[in-house]
Structure 1
Amino acid sequence: MSVNPFDIVAYQKQDHEAVCRLLVESFKAKFQSLVSLEDQEIQQLLMKIWVQNPNSTSMKQFVAKENDEVVGVLSLKWKVPSSSLPETNPISLAPLIKQFGCFNVFKFLTGMHELEYIPGPDECYIDHLAIRSSHRNQGIGRHFLTFAQQFMVESDFHVLTLHVAHQNQGAVRLYNKLGFHVERSNYNLMRHLFFKEPVWQRMTWRTTK
């Protein structure tokens, strides 16, 4: 599926740096609430901690590209059968602590853990969706969401879900326009402490069949 002139393609390892840079730009406030580092340092830390496997059996990441440059990213995840081996990316903490400081590394890891969500059976979950600031309001986010809906249907999942901070009403309105509904709102103490965003909404989309 493509967004003319943007192409949505599967993430590859060579996209890692560009994706991390995009995530730091898009979720700058969240990262800055965790660590006392410059944006470039946050990107370096994220690149070393958040290693993605293009051949993962429990998630799939897609990027929107314009002239081979990453301008958007979408990550989908789901629950793998219990018989599958867990996917792990061991992290060597010593060099990270030496470079970024003990407090920054452990707070960053803890904060990232608090954002983790384990999907239920037959659930496809939008882990993150981000668009480069220079390319927002051009329809890429909408196309990513319709792409995710099509992926859910073609992969035989029963529901597409996501979490969004209550205060991010712009995103909530976009999701509503594409058929997502607020299933519930929850107060999350740890996310309140780490990210200053106390209330999070779980939104769902199902086919009308």
Structure 2
Amino acid sequence: MSIIIRQAQPQDAHAVVPLIIDAIGDIANRLTGEQTAKAVEQELTVLFKREDNRHSYLNTFVAVENEHVLGILVYYNGVEAIQMDANLVKWLEEKNAPSIIIDKEAHEDEYYIDTVCVAQEARGKGIGTLLLQFAIEETQKRGYAKLSLNVETQKEDARRLYERLGFVITEPWSIIDEPFHHMVKQF
């Protein structure tokens, strides 16, 4: 396999948006203010092509082989997340979506892995690990001392993978009233 990781582009939406939905499930409904699968995908595509929110192409990296997207990484810093989430709430209000509170997912001094997802046909080939290693290297290049992520408490296999990469549980976390482990890798 000759997989490269590159910055996502707006034209990657057709491949990236379904992977974001696969990873975040019903949260996509909340983030778009939509209920039907088609409407969620359409509105998440709008968000992906914008530059002012957490699921923007600017915060997304793709693992590609022969220009076929095999996996994604949505990644940003905790300081920027505050404004990006405020922009999302404003967008939802402008489209008269149900009122939403966006839960904080990272501390301001951390770079944050929001979403990692590998296409079904490419799972088990180490692409998720490649994306995580990319985030680790990128965080160091950007001069941050901490990289964080949240993992659902019941996802023990995922937690063990993160621990093998040097992440440690630092505190309990709650996202949409669900329990998570906040995990941090320090440099």
With normalisation by structure 2, the TM-score equals: 0.77
Task: State the Cα deviation string for residues 79-102 of structure 1 (Å, max 9, x = none).
Answer: 559xxxx665763867x56xxxxx
Task: Count how many residue pairs are aligned between Structure 1 and Structure 2.
Answer: 177
Partner of 2:41 in structure 1?
A: 43
Identity %: 24
Partner of 2:91 in structure 1?
A: 91
Mapping 1:1-209, distance limit 5 Å: 4-31=1-28, 37-53=35-51, 60-79=59-78, 88=87, 91=91, 105-106=97-98, 110=100, 113-114=102-103, 116-121=104-109, 123-186=110-173, 188=174, 191-192=176-177, 198-207=178-187
Q: CA RMSD in A?
A: 3.1
What is the CA distance between 1:143 and its match in structure 2? 0.8
Q: Is the 8 A contact 1:24 1:39 kept in 2?
A: no
Q: Is the 8 A contact 2:10 2:48 kept in 1?
A: no
Cα 1:80/1:191, change in 2 over 3 Å? closer
Cα 1:80/1:28, change in 2 over 3 Å? closer
Task: State the Cα deviation string for residues 57-104 of structure 1 (Å, max 9, x = none).
Answer: xx63210112212221112211559xxxx665763867x56xxxxxxx
Secondary structure of the residue aligned to 2:91 is coil
> 1:140 corresponds to which letter in structure 2?
I
In 1, the alpha carbon distance for the partners of 2:30 and 2:46 equals 19
In 1, the alpha carbon distance for the partners of 2:107 and 2:127 equals 25
The unaligned stretches of length 5 or more in structure 1 are 98-104, 193-197
What is the CA distance between 1:47 and its match in structure 2? 1.7
Cα 1:79/1:19, change in 2 over 3 Å? same
Cα 1:182/1:155, change in 2 over 3 Å? same
Secondary structure of the residue aligned to 1:138 is coil
The unaligned stretches of length 5 or more in structure 2 are none
Of stretches 19-28 and 34-43 in structure 1, the one that deviates more from structure 2 is 34-43
With normalisation by structure 1, the TM-score equals: 0.70
In 2, the alpha carbon distance for the partners of 1:141 and 1:131 equals 6
In 2, the alpha carbon distance for the partners of 1:92 and 1:39 equals 17
What is the CA distance between 1:52 and its match in structure 2? 4.0
Q: Is the 8 A contact 2:153 2:179 kept in 1?
A: yes
What is the CA distance between 1:24 and its match in structure 2? 1.4
